[in-house]
């Protein structure tokens, strides 16, 4: 009995030591399990984002993106960067009918081969991206993007892991940022033009004031010979001429009939030019040089006028060879231009003749 009592007293001490030794091992085993839960890929969540742009601009950019012919965030082969051959569509059987308002756009790629980043995809089928644009006030827009892949044979629908939605939104966001940049640069260019016109007007007013002062001085100087000549034409006094002593004739005192050049209207000084010309350069040559800096001509065989500085942006119109355009914004690879008809857009530098 005594031995059993001693064993019972020793057992709690022994169990506590074992538990203390096993506790760190249990905690270490739980850490990878927690990490696995965080790294778990979620499918079918899509993307919903609030865009700080008006709905009209977002709709235009989304339409441009649906027409660019590519789906980003996935690929058919490892060497690819995206899936090409996509087309814009008004609807798709892969998605159900949208009934929650807003404007809906679709981009469809038929016969896509095992596109990446879709759950358990491994067959040929239809790849579809849906964009829903909904207004939120006057200056904000809610954009929703979802992507699905449906197999052609089994009609099984596979959900995206979010890669397609994120990549497509980045493309849309970059387009919107470029448009905003173009607006700011266009506004700055307009303000600069107004400042230049204001300075030209001020210079013109100063020239006019200088000319008026010179004309007034010339007029006052020109009246003196007339008065002198009038005095010379008055009849002589009643006293006899001989009674008056003859004034000594001096070469330094000219007669009233032959006034010096100082009484003639003084030539106006030439107004100072507001344009700095190079030595030996005429004003016409200077104007031609300025035109070369802001004007360009479209190369053969013509070039597209894009809505944004991207190859995938929609084409506003095709400009024929020899079309003259005005440079508004200059970037390393693109020009923001304006046609003679007032159409604004973007053109590649390589599509234009360089001075």
pLDDT digits (tens, 9 = 90+) for 199-234: 888 887 777 666 665 555 555 555 454 443 444 445
* Integer Cα distance of 310 and 178 in angstroms: 9
Using pLDDT thresholds of 50, 70 and 90, give the confidence band for residue 95: very high
Q: Are strands 334-339 and 324-330 parallel, antiparallel or unpaired?
A: antiparallel
Which CATH number characterizes residue 305's domain? 2.30.30.40
Using pLDDT thresholds of 50, 70 and 90, give the confidence band for residue 310: confident
Using pLDDT thresholds of 50, 70 and 90, give the confidence band for residue 282: confident
Residue in the block written with tokens 């700011």: 184
Q: Is residue 143 part of a domain?
A: yes
Out of 180, 202, 218, a domain closes at: 180
Which CATH number characterizes residue 168's domain? 3.30.530
Instruction: Determine the pLDDT at residue 332.
Output: 72
Q: Is 254 exposed, middle or buried (0-12, 13-18, 19+ CB in 10 A)?
A: exposed
Q: Is residue 29 part of a domain?
A: no
Q: Is the pLDDT of residue 259 over 70?
A: no
Mean pLDDT of 128-145: 95
Question: Nearest CA to 129 among 62, 192, 191?
Answer: 62
Q: How many domains is the chain built from?
A: 2
Q: How far, in Å, are 8, 239, 261 from residue 243 at the CA level? A: 168, 7, 34
Range name among 7-16, 94-103, 120-129 with the lowest pLDDT average? 7-16
More confident residue, 227 or 18: 18
Instruction: Determine the pLDDT at residue 230.
Output: 43
Range name among 125-139, 187-201, 271-285 with the lowest pLDDT average? 271-285
**Digit-coded pLDDT (tens) for 37-82:** 555 788 989 999 999 999 999 998 999 899 889 999 999 999 999 9
Out of 180, 196, 230, a domain closes at: 180
Residue in the block written with tokens 């006057």: 138
87: helix, coil or strand?
strand
Domain hosting residue 303, numbered range: 292-355
More confident residue, 288 or 70: 70
Out of 155, 180, 205, a domain closes at: 180
* Integer Cα distance of 146 and 100 in angstroms: 15
115 with 149: CB under 8 angstroms?
yes
Q: Dig out the tokens for 290 from the structure.
A: 């300025």
Q: Is the pLDDT of residue 24 over 80?
A: no
Instruction: Determine the pLDDT at residue 248.
Output: 47
Q: Does residue 301 have a cis bond before it (omega within 30 degrees)?
A: yes
Using pLDDT thresholds of 50, 70 and 90, give the confidence band for residue 308: confident
Q: Is residue 70 part of a domain?
A: yes
Q: Is residue 51 part of a domain?
A: yes
Q: Is residue 35 part of a domain?
A: no
Tally helices (H) and strands (E) across the chain.
Answer: 4, 14
* Integer Cα distance of 254 and 263 in angstroms: 13
Q: Is residue 312 part of a domain?
A: yes
DSSP calls for 111-139? EEES-TTBTT--SEEEEEEEEEEEEETTT
Instruction: Determine the pLDDT at residue 140.
Output: 95
Calculate the average pLDDT of the chain: 76
Question: Nearest CA to 126 among 86, 81, 73, 75?
Answer: 86
* Range with the largest mean pLDDT of 1-15, 155-169, 297-311: 155-169
143 with 49: CB under 8 angstroms?
yes
């Amino acid at each position: 009995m005594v031995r059993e009592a001693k064993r019972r007293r020793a057992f709690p001490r022994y169990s506590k030591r074992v538990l203390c030794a096993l506790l760190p091992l249990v905690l270490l085993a739980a850490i990878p399990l927690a990490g696995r839960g965080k790294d778990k890929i979620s499918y079918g969540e899509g993307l919903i984002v609030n865009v700080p742009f008006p709905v009209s601009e977002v709709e235009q950019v989304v339409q441009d993106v649906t027409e660019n012919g590519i789906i980003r965030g996935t690929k058919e082969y490892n060497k690819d960067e995206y899936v090409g051959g996509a087309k814009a569509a008004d609807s798709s059987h892969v998605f159900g009918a949208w009934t929650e308002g807003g404007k809906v756009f679709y981009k469809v790629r038929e016969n896509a081969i095992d596109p990446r980043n879709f759950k358990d995809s491994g067959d040929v089928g239809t790849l579809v991206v849906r964009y829903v644009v909904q207004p939120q006030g006057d200056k904000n827009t809610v954009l929703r993007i979802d992507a699905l892949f449906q197999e052609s044979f089994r009609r099984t629908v596979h959900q995206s892991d979010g890669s397609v939605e994120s990549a497509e939104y980045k493309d849309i966001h970059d387009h919107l940022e470029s448009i905003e940049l173009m607006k700011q640069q266009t506004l700055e260019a307009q303000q600069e033009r107004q400042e230049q016109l204001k300075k030209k007007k001020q210079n013109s007013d100063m020239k006019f004031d200088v000319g008026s002062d010179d004309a007034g001085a010339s007029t006052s100087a020109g009246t003196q010979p007339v008065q002198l000549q009038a005095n010379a034409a008055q009849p002589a006094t009643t006293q006899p001429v001989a009674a008056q002593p003859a004034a000594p004739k001096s070469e330094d005192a000219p007669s009233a009939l032959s006034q010096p050049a100082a009484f003639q209207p003084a030539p106006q000084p030439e107004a100072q030019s507001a344009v700095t010309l190079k030595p030996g350069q005429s004003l016409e040559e200077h104007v031609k040089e300025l035109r070369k800096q802001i004007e360009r001509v479209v190369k053969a065989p013509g070039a597209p006028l894009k809505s944004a500085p991207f190859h995938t942006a929609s084409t506003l119109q095709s400009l024929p060879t020899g079309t003259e355009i005005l440079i508004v914004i200059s970037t390393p690879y693109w020009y923001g231009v304006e046609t003679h008809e007032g159409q604004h857009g973007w053109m590649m530098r390589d599509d234009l003749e360089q001075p």
